[in-house]
Amino acid sequence: MIWVLIGAIGCGVGLGYFVLPPESGEQIGSLTMWALNFLILMIGIEVGLNLSVFKEIRKHGAMLVAIPLGIVAGSAIGGFAASVIFNQPATTGLAIAAGYGWYSLSGILLTTLDGAQTGAVAFISNIFRELLTIASVPFIAKYFNRYTVIAPAGATSMDSTLPVISRYTDPEVAIMAFFNGVVLSALVPVLVPFFYGL
């Protein structure tokens, strides 16, 4: 998967630099907005198709709400700290952190809101979040509370990092992780523009 992403980025850079004329930027922006709306529609459909998620809410109660809220709060603190360290606007740091690992959507959103540089930073930082999660879950699961493996995964805990979470924990944590990913994926398209607009 990571090689597909690297290849896609490389192809995009090559097309933008060598093939496409500079005036094609407006059409690319329009296409990006359509792709973004399609991604959001697909997430909505995925949530609607997984009706079992709503049963799990009743079963696990407050913990299902506490985990995503804790991740939102922790990511916001981290994004704010990064903005101070790198001398960037706090709103930009908060918006980038609100990607919660969903690199494709957060990158597109912030490219649309603030330009290619901020979009690229969001894309790369959220890819690193996913990669660090995959690398760190075995250690976290061994030395910390088993539910803490969900935190670094963010929105990816419902898909790309769910297999590693399942492998090193148990089915109950996997259910929590999946639900957390659904909640955070629904929040990304809301919170990225919200934090950026503060």
pLDDT in tens, 88-146: 999 999 999 999 998 888 988 998 899 889 999 999 999 899 889 988 998 999 999 88
Global pTM?
Answer: 0.74
Pseudo-torsion of CA 45, 49, 52, 53, nearest 10°?
-10
Sign of CA dihedral 59, 65, 71, 72: positive
**Residue 67 to residue 160: CA distance in whole angstroms:** 18
Q: Let me know: does 100 contact 184? Beta carbons within 8 Å.
A: yes
Task: Give the residue, 151 or 164, on which the prediction is more confident.
Answer: 151
Q: What's the mean pLDDT in 81-86?
A: 96
Q: Let me know: does 149 contact 137? Beta carbons within 8 Å.
A: yes
